[in-house]
Structure 1
């Protein structure tokens, strides 16, 4: 889409955003919620843990969901055959000190892509990272190289995490969004852009996963109000709390807000439409 047409669309008050539910394949509660929200047209994409226990079993439902289907690259959870995994704090330290074994990182990326393709019969529409690991040093270089070699002229698009407009967002959550951005977003976007990868414009949906529905509802409403054409909002819904999951009951709170009638009203009031691929190049 040309820049002039993007501006014309924005002037007309119509904005197209990606609303992506992360963690498909982690647990049946997440899978159930994401598929239900797809039926309600409250999502446009889902990011999948391809080695998760429920991913392959839900392949048919995913193909019929109408969602863009992405790989949620994992280096922090002991899921499936993820041989190299560690807490995100340790991963950050080892990535920035260049202590991650590059060959093993590349092999793990390839294995997760293999699992995705084996289940769905095709490559992912996009790639991002569980806890944003795809933008970390060592991992990002291996990922971009693998995707370019594997998919050639038709690579998946990528999530970049430079923060969108944060007006109305509490200061602590602004800081968290900026911290995620600081952890490699700009360098990742520059390198990916130079290689011709398409990305979302900016990134929203960062918060502390606390406060139940009363906290999430105003946050989501504000992100929708702040979103620009081509932005991506992430979410983490589940139909019930997942045992042992750090997000606890907050996933259920997200699900209840996303499926509510109010959500449909906010989309309409903001002139927003949900689409799977980013509509605008990143800024």
Structure 2
């Protein structure tokens, strides 16, 4: 039987997992990444994904423990309940570790997870940024989007898969007799357009290529000794568009105004919190 001991607010995803019995680790991780791709996390400082991997390849997971922070008491509970996977919202490994010793509690946690074969996965800001994620849940304290308020991310993230996974657009003008297949054979280089043209040297073809940084280097190497071709090469960095639905934080505009105390009570009700601090 598949068991979950602690839920965070991503209820829809968790309910999907609890209906199944015994799932391979990679299948579970794929579902989490489908819900909130890791590219949504703030790559400049955050540390997300699998942080502790088991020695067994793709084990069957029957019990998961969800927690906001992976402390020693939480880990002891996971071991007691025989959980094979811990989803820790905040990453237990944040700064680079120079050693793993028993003198530091954070290092002890990692050592104990390895000893007991427990996988640790942290989603952190990817769950903040995703549409219908943690931020969206928090602002639901004020009602229904579009009906009671309008919202937008404070800082939008770039879409990962558009216009392509490649990072550059390269154009090159080749003599008509040149073999374009040499370019097509390069890994991560996709010819997206071929236009016949005429240069001072005669009939030619202008080729547009979507390619990775490594592929750019390979194309340059192809024509290293052909200056008449090298000087025609132009490279444009592809900028991916912003995703208006996903990003860090949420700025909302209420349809009806509320006092600060009313707003606090709304949040307390949502989070089932019985106390608050109000600074005026």
Category of TM-score, reference length = shorter chain: under 0.3
Which structure's relative contact order is higher, taking Cα pairs within 8 Å and 6+ residues apart? 1
Structure of higher CA gyration radius = 2
The structure with the greater share of residues assigned to strand is: 2
The structure with the greater share of residues assigned to helix is: 1
Q: TM-score, normalised by structure 1?
A: 0.22
